[in-house]
Amino acid sequence: MSGKIDHYGMWTWGGRVFNWKKYLDHMRLSGMDTVVLWHYHAPANAPQIKEYANHLGIRVIWGFNWSWNSPVCLNSDEDAAKWRDIVLNMLKNEYESLQPEGICFQVGGTEFDFECRLGCPICRKTYGGDGVGSLYMKFAGTIIDAVKKQYPELKLYANIHLGGVHQSFEALKFLDTSINIMWEDLPGPKKHLEVPFAYDWEAEDTAVTSQTLNMVRRMCELRGADEDVAFIVKGFPNHWGGCDPMLLEDFDLKVLANVYQEKWDAAEHYCEKRLPDALQVFRIIADSPAREKTVLLLVEHGLWEYQRYYPAMLILEAIKNPFRDPDEVIYAAKSYKNT
């Protein structure tokens, strides 16, 4: 008997969702049940978004900054305490009243090779070297402990980019198993990615290796059978837009879709070509002993609300049941073609 991936959905910068109702409608039509909306601050209409999503059977996980892309020293107790207080204030003032189904966080130093704001020797050792895994545990641990004390029932999701973590991800095996790790941006030995598919499908146009598959397996088994694990699959047309406002209801989605058409055509070609590799990766996730498994797509910049593009539907079909032949998955996805 084969395993399955329990939840699938979307991870997105909320600032790049131009019509959130259509975005959620298309998720619902596609059988998705989870959306992560990442903002610097909770959007003013967060209660309406949550209500509409929940009505469609979609849970909303709110993401916000826990020092990502900010000048920090991961070895500084002072910096950890400062961010602990910022996070507790944000939760109290912006998120508590939403009764969030989950909070997703990103800590500084994981996305890129990390430069400590103080240039301290302990942080410097991680830069371009082993990665920030153990410093992450120390820094994030201070914030997590305080949040869990204040909100024991709150479900937390740790967004981990491997750009600054590298092989030191093993240090995260000591992270509380109640916290779901969402893995993303996973670089391999050749600058591009050991674990597909982080940035774009074309750039990773090499066959998936046994090393890649083993790394996915180790990530799924990192904390044993009590762990929830999630992966974010990127490589679909998108544009960083975290600082922008959301809810541009009148935005001309058709114009935007035309701008991106060439990228979608390329994504279609490469997603079909890499489908056997994607299926291998999803089979490992589905069959892993982790308690709950989630895979999210990143499709944004007005594109998912315009239509359910075929490449995204193709990969979604692969996630829904990876134990099929590629031809069967392609056949299933084509029935939705650009609807």
Structure tokens of 143?
Answer: 């914030």
The answer to whether 106 and 65 have CB atoms below 8 angstroms apart is: yes
Tell me if 123 contacts Zn ion by CB under 5 A.
yes
Closest approach of Cβ 198 to Zn ion, in Å? 26
The residue among 125 and 324 lying less far from Zn ion, judged by its C-beta, is 125
Closest approach of Cβ 69 to Zn ion, in Å? 16
Stretch that binds Zn ion, among 94-102, 115-123, 143-151, 324-332 (CB under 5 A): 115-123
The residue among 58 and 72 lying less far from Zn ion, judged by its C-beta, is 72
Closest approach of Cβ 116 to Zn ion, in Å? 3
Tell me if 116 contacts Zn ion by CB under 5 A.
yes
The residue among 73 and 295 lying less far from Zn ion, judged by its C-beta, is 73
Distance in angstroms (rounded) separating the CA atoms of residues 310 and 259: 17
**List 29, 81, 120, 225, residue binding Zn ion (CB under 5 A):** 120
**Contacts (CB under 5 A) with Zn ion, residues 66-95:** 73, 75
Distance in angstroms (rounded) separating the CA atoms of residues 6 and 10: 14
Closest approach of Cβ 142 to Zn ion, in Å? 14
Q: What would the DSSP string read from start to end of 248-297?
A: -TT--HHHHHHHHHHHHHHHHHHHHHHHHHHHHHHHHHHHSS-SEEEEEE
Whether the bond between 197 and the residue before it is cis, its omega within 30 degrees of 0, is yes
Tell me if 126 contacts Zn ion by CB under 5 A.
no
Closest approach of Cβ 118 to Zn ion, in Å? 5
Distance in angstroms (rounded) separating the CA atoms of residues 201 and 229: 23
Q: Taking CA 244 as the corner, what is the angle to CA 243 and CA 249, rounded to the nearest 5 degrees?
A: 155
The residue among 164 and 322 lying less far from Zn ion, judged by its C-beta, is 164
Distance in angstroms (rounded) separating the CA atoms of residues 211 and 321: 23
Residue 62: phi, psi to the nearest 5? -90, 130
Tell me if 135 contacts Zn ion by CB under 5 A.
no
Structure tokens of 88?
Answer: 């507790």
The residue among 75 and 180 lying less far from Zn ion, judged by its C-beta, is 75
Tell me if 107 contacts Zn ion by CB under 5 A.
no
The residue among 32 and 73 lying less far from Zn ion, judged by its C-beta, is 73
Q: Taking CA 242 as the corner, what is the angle to CA 239 and CA 247, rounded to the nearest 5 degrees?
A: 90
Closest approach of Cβ 171 to Zn ion, in Å? 16
Which are the contacts of 30, defined by CB distance < 8 A and separation ≥ 6?
308, 313, 316, 336
The binding site for Zn ion (CB under 5 A) comprises: 73, 75, 116, 118, 120, 123
